């Protein structure tokens, strides 16, 4: 449904991607690897970007059925034998942190709380040491269903901070969006995260036209009241194909315009760096805080991207929008007997080939074959 008053752009037609076979995990040639580096090895690409942030998808399964992420009937979940085991996951994280310069590890899904061994993996990660001699920062992206029962254990395991997906504070709309009546569980999870001292507690909200674009002010008020850091996100083409049209998307500028109707906004003094969100100091005269806008489509931050991704089945993705043909399977190499050094070379080769940007506005853009629940956020 279009937003009143908007000049509609012509919708982009997204061609149906053709699944491609993942390359065999053979040793990369010298030409596929970055030149030798002075000092500790890092995951650098041909444009000079260095990956410091690892996103690890721990499962493709989810206990919600968000309309913009998957169909109502769910998906065909990955067979257990194809997913990384705990030991394989920890080994690859250790290689990334101790051999390849990763300093932050974020656990995603699917829904990572469905991984029963999550605390074990977090604790093992926190025991590692980065090239700076410190433990890596650990973070979790979750829908918070069940978080109230595990927040303390996760904190004690070494989890530093958390992002909670919440697109509305309306119980009715939440149930429509997620196809589940679980918003009170989310509120309990948020309270538990604050109580045990996870900091910061961020809320991620995807803004969709005619769905929750009128709830922007309510979400901001809720976050300011709770002391949460709210992040509004432009909707990206990572779910069911019929749910995204470039011309219908609610842009960052429109989100800011809606916020300015109720709040005074000033650009935050804190440098953005490689962070995806442009930050704004916000007040309505009685409440103050900070809100971020992630304009992944209209103002992409690809030039400063410092992320590398590991899928549930052990494939390296250099970008959220990478084609499956560009993935390199560390799982297959590991199960074939690859050493840590060989796995590090494969990872370095995957990142060296990283493209300059996601290309959403390119005429030949193809939506990734994998949906968001398979890739990890």
CB 207 within 8 A of CB 235: yes
* Interatomic CA distance for residues 96 and 102, integer angstroms: 6
Q: What is the pLDDT of residues 314-372, one digit of tens each?
A: 999 998 878 777 899 999 999 999 999 999 999 999 999 998 987 676 656 666 667 66
- Each domain of the chain, given as residue ranges in start order, spans 46-375
Give backbone dihedrals phi and psi of 200, rounded to 5 degrees, phi first. -80, 160
Percentage of residues of the chain with pLDDT beyond 70: 85
Cα end-to-end span (Å), the chain: 26
Q: CA-CA distance, 114 to 97, in Å (whole number)? A: 24
pLDDT band at 71 (very low <50, low <70, confident <90, very high): confident
CB contact at 8 A, 202 and 163: yes
Question: Does residue 6 have a pLDDT over 50?
Answer: no
Start-end of H helices in 1-66:
none
Please state whether the predicted TM-score (pTM) of the whole model is above 0.75: yes
> If you average pLDDT over residues 61-80, what whole number do you get?
86
Residue 15: its pLDDT value, please? 44
| Cα 191 to Cα 148: distance, rounded to the nearest angstrom | 8
Q: Which letter does DSSP use for residue 306 in this model? A: -
Half-sphere exposure of 150 (CA within 13 A, CB side): 23
Question: Is the pLDDT assigned to residue 163 strictly greater than 80?
Answer: yes
What is the average pLDDT across 226-255? 80
pLDDT, average across residues 74-90: 93
Contact criterion met (CB below 8 Å) for 45 and 303: no
Cβ 68 vs Cβ 240: under 8 Å: yes
Q: 46-375 is classed in which CATH architecture?
A: Alpha-Beta Barrel (3.20)
Q: What are 41-56's pLDDT values in tens digits?
A: 999 999 999 999 999 9
Q: What is the dihedral of CA 79, 84, 87, 91, to 10 degrees?
A: 170
Mean pLDDT score of the chain: 88
In this prediction, residue 2 carries a pLDDT of: 42
On whether the CB atoms of residues 54 and 105 are closer than 8 A, the answer is yes
- State residue 321's pLDDT score: 77
Q: Tokens at residue 177, please?
A: 């969006």
DSSP state at residue 105:
E
pLDDT of residue 174: 97
Residues 293, 350: Cα–Cα separation, whole Å: 29
**pLDDT score of 8:** 40
């Amino acid at each position: 449904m279009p937003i009143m008053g908007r000049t509609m752009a012509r919708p982009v037609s997204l061609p149906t991607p053709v699944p491609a076979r993942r390359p065999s995990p053979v040793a990369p040639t010298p030409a596929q690897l970055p030149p030798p580096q002075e000092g500790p090895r890092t995951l650098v690409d041909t444009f000079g970007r260095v990956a410091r942030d690892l996103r690890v998808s721990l499962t493709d399964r989810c206990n919600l059925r968000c309309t913009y992420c998957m169909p109502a009937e769910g998906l065909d979940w990955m067979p257990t034998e194809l997913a990384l085991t705990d030991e394989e996951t920890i080994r690859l994280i250790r290689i990334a942190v101790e051999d390849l310069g990763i300093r932050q590890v974020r656990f995603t899904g699917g829904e990572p709380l469905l991984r029963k061994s999550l605390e074990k993996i977090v604790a093992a990660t926190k025991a590692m040491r980065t090239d700076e001699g410190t433990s890596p920062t650990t973070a979790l992206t979750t829908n918070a269903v069940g978080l109230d029962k595990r927040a303390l254990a996760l904190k004690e395991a070494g989890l530093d901070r958390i992002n909670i997906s919440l697109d509305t504070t309306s119980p009715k709309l939440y149930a429509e969006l997620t196809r589940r009546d679980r918003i009170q569980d989310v509120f309990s999870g948020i309270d538990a995260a604050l109580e045990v001292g996870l900091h910061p507690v961020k809320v991620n909200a995807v803004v969709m036209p005619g769905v929750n674009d009128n709830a922007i002010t309510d979400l901001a008020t809720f976050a300011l009241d709770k002391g949460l850091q709210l992040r509004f996100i432009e909707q990206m083409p990572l779910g069911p194909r019929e749910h995204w049209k470039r011309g219908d998307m609610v842009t960052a500028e429109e989100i800011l315009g809606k916020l300015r109707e109720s709040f005074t906004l000033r650009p935050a003094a804190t440098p953005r760096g490689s962070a995806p969100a442009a930050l704004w100091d916000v007040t309505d005269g009685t409440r103050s805080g900070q809100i971020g806008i992630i304009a992944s489509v209209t103002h992409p931050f690809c030039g400063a991207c410092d992320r590398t991704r590991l899928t549930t089945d052990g494939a390296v993705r250099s970008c959220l929008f990478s084609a499956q043909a560009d993935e390199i399977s560390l799982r297959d190499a590991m199960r074939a007997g690859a050493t840590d050094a060989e796995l590090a070379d494969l990872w370095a080769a995957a990142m060296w080939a990283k493209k300059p940007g996601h290309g959403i506005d390119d005429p030949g853009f193809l939506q990734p074959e994998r949906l968001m629940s398979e890739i990890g956020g």
